[in-house]
Structure 1
Amino acid sequence: TERLSRRSPFSQLVYTNNNSYVIHHGDLRKIHKAASWGQAWKLERMMKKTTMDLNIRDAKKRSALHWACANGHAEVVTLLVDRKCQLDVLDGKNRTPLMKALQCQREACENILIDSGADPNIVDVYGNTALHYAVYTKNLSVVAKLLSCGADVEEKNKAGHTPLLLAIGKRSEQTVGFLLTKNANANAVDKFKCIHQQLLEYTQKLSKNSQNSNPEGTSEGTPDEAAPLAERTPDMAESLVERTPDE
């Protein structure tokens, strides 16, 4: 349809079946191949033989750290970080290794980079920060960790979405509730304010009900109210990422 053909900059990120890098061996140097295959022993041997530039890029601007993160090789990530590689080197889409680890859901690699001081506020070509990636994959523990390390909770990507708006679009109740406790701006809404407001009210109602004395944790009438909301929001919520910012 015309709407699907005019996806937002953010939808170009999220509508992909495989977020891992595609290996074209002609593009890669030995260091990139070893990192992509998780060959920490080989990297160590290479480092002993000669002075290596750990930050050298392949033909598409990806570093060894990018490759290790995309493929979830935590041992290689640890080795490269210990040898003082650059943490925030950018690939061809301005993604840091931290962003790539988050996009590919490599939690061990994510934690190593965050603990080592990777910058959470670098913006990729779509306007996304590491926090956007964590929110999109519904990784609440990493969302919390990024915020504790100074991630900007109000950064908007090129589709106009703050992490809170993205969480709402993903219907991620836990993340929405958590971001609200971290003072995310509930008024930072676009033209779909009605939908956002419904979802916020629904999340807040769930939070209140969890503190209710009712053994089932719900107040009278809540299930009937929640069901129509859940039934009527998917198509409209999906349009949050399918429409371009100027629509």
Structure 2
Amino acid sequence: VVDRGGWNCLHYACRSGRNEVMRCLLLKRADPLEVTKDKQTILMLAVLEGKIDAVREMFREKAVHSTLSYPDKTGATALHYSVLLKDTKMLKLLLDYKAKVHNRDAMGRTVLSWACEYSSIELVKVLCKKHADVHAPDAEGRAALYYAIL
């Protein structure tokens, strides 16, 4: 059962950080790969709400690992979302689970470009330590440095 936005019970449980409900739904075979109409995964929803414990819990499900690089309707991934929220702990956790630092959104912007645009020095440092490409151009030919000086 889904609502008009394509959300099911698992989406709501993950977004609200209701780990026990999430665990129960997954045990009852709720599909962790189902996405909303905006193409958001349960992982993205938990990241957007800063639910780090829910994210840790999700990674007990092997299928969730495959959603690390899954893009939403704008091409953003869960890693992009962690940067949007300037959540260093979440960013590090996702990187620990092997999120790809070179993923791009629909406009070709990397996670590093987002970190520069949102003026987060700490996130930029973390991403550079993970070998983010500082020269990777977006669809307009702009690299991360361009976003850093905006």
Give the TM-score, by structure 1 length: 0.53
1:103 to 27, 42, 48: 48
* 1:122 aligned partner, one-letter code: Y
How many residues matched? Answer: 145
Q: Which has the higher contact order (CA 8 A, sep 6+)?
A: 1
- CA drift at 1:111: 1.9
User: 1:61 — aligned with what?
Assistant: 6
Q: Are the aligned partners of 1:98 and 1:114 in contact in 2 as well (CA < 8 Å)? A: no
Q: Are the aligned partners of 1:102 and 1:110 in contact in 2 as well (CA < 8 Å)? A: yes
Taking a change above 3 Å as real, the CA distance of residues 78 and 198 of structure 1, as seen in their structure-2 partners, is closer
Q: Are the aligned partners of 2:117 and 2:147 in contact in 1 as well (CA < 8 Å)? A: no
CA distance in 2, matches of 1:192, 1:151: 23
- 1:91-130 correspondence runs (5 A): 91-117=36-62, 118=64, 119-130=67-78
* 2:96 aligned partner, one-letter code: S
- CA drift at 1:103: 1.3
Matched, 1:140 2:88: yes
CA distance in 2, matches of 1:189, 1:171: 18
Q: Are the aligned partners of 2:104 and 2:110 in contact in 1 as well (CA < 8 Å)? A: yes
| Larger Cα-atom Rg | 1
The structure whose residues are more often helix, as a share, is 1
CA distance in 2, matches of 1:144, 1:138: 11
Structure 1 unaligned spans of 5+? 1-55, 200-232, 237-247
Q: Are the aligned partners of 2:86 and 2:123 in contact in 1 as well (CA < 8 Å)? A: yes
Structure 1 runs of 4+ aligned residues shifted over 3 Å read 189-193
1:177 to 122, 125, 146: 125
Structure 2 unaligned spans of 5+? none
CA distance in 1, matches of 2:146, 2:117: 12
* 1:171 aligned partner, one-letter code: S
User: 2:109 — aligned with what?
Assistant: 161
User: What secondary structure does 1:183 align onto?
Assistant: coil
CA distance in 1, matches of 2:45, 2:122: 23
Q: Are the aligned partners of 1:189 and 1:196 in contact in 2 as well (CA < 8 Å)? A: no
CA displacement 1:12-64 (0-9 Å, x = unmatched): xxxxxxxxxxxxxxxxxxxxxxxxxxxxxxxxxxxxxxxxxxxx323331111
CA displacement 1:186-208 (0-9 Å, x = unmatched): 11145555x81695xxxxxxxxx
For the aligned residues, what is the CA RMSD? 2.1
Give the TM-score, by structure 2 length: 0.84
Matched, 1:152 2:100: yes
